[in-house]
Structure 1
Amino acid sequence: MRAAILTTLLVVLALPAWAEPLRVGRDEAIVVPLNGAARDVVVGNPRIADVQVQGPRRLVVIGKGYGETSLTVLDGAGRVLLSQPVVVTGGEERLVSVITADKSGFKETHFSCAPRCVRVLEDQAPGTPAPK
């Protein structure tokens, strides 16, 4: 019983440490205020999201392609001001993957759905690697 209570307590205390993703629609932008002056801004996959610095304490995140990437912002001393996932969707749409199989193997097709589904171009599919 003690172990269950301890486990529950640890999970509850860890919840604030999990960053809620920033959500932005494709071809849309959101303003992100910062608690300090940004010096370095790193986007995990620039094909999914772009960031413009609008001042030392304000960023604009722009959705470029469907999927999820990371955003990290550091101050002049190298301290992390922001470290959050960024999820880009078709506005309020949801992404659906359909996997089919035949004798030649598996095929995955992606759709952005709400209220109807529209096929997502393969170069916009989640998990697509960035160009080298």
Structure 2
Amino acid sequence: MASTSKFPARHVLIGTLAALSLAAGAAPALAEAGIRILMNEAKIVKLARPADTIVVGNPQIADASVQDATTLVLTGRGFGVTNIVVLDLDGAPIVDEQIYVARQDTKSVRVYRRAEVQTLSCTPYCESSYKSDAERLSESEMGASQ
């Protein structure tokens, strides 16, 4: 029996696939809401009210410095995910967020030679970039896993 729908089946299929791909793309963005910092870079965080206590889950991943009672400076120290909790004088939370620290991917190139990994900073010419202890460890682990 022929279809009597105004919309051919392929248009419905294409529309459904487009909606699913949009939904799939939005899910990771929602799941990773939080504070994003690049390795070896700082980010200023303004607080709604003065802070009394600041706790970073893993200070090897991110560090918090107090600029004043309502301003923090977060610095990416190592790759990964940790959290930050900021409490006011009464112990009420001001901030309770995940911190994601990632490598600077733009203007950089990684060269793999067997077990050796070299990262080049290309701004505009490619040269060996400074590596923190966390970056050296990450690159040695990448080389060992190959």
Q: Which structure has more helix as a fraction of its residues?
A: 2
TM-score (norm 2): 0.53
Aligned to 1:48: 61
TM-score (norm 1): 0.58
- If asked which structure has higher relative contact order (CA below 8 Å, sep 6+), I would say 1
Aligned mate of 1:62, from 37, 62, 75: 75
Q: What's the offset of the Cα at 1:75? A: 0.3
53 and 76 in structure 1: CA distance in 2 versus 1, 3 angstrom threshold: same
1:108-127 aligned at under 5 Å gives the runs 116-117=109-110, 119=117, 120-122=135-137
Q: Which structure has more strand as a fraction of its residues?
A: 1
Based on CA coordinates, which of the two structures has the bigger radius of gyration? 2
Structure 2, unmatched stretches of 5+, are: 1-30, 112-116, 118-134, 141-146
Aligned to 2:95: 82
Structure 1, unmatched stretches of 5+, are: 1-17, 94-112, 126-132
Does the 8 A contact of 1:65 with 1:124 survive in 2?
no
Does the 8 A contact of 1:26 with 1:64 survive in 2?
yes
Structure 1's consecutive aligned runs of 4 or more residues displaced over 6 angstroms after TM superposition are none
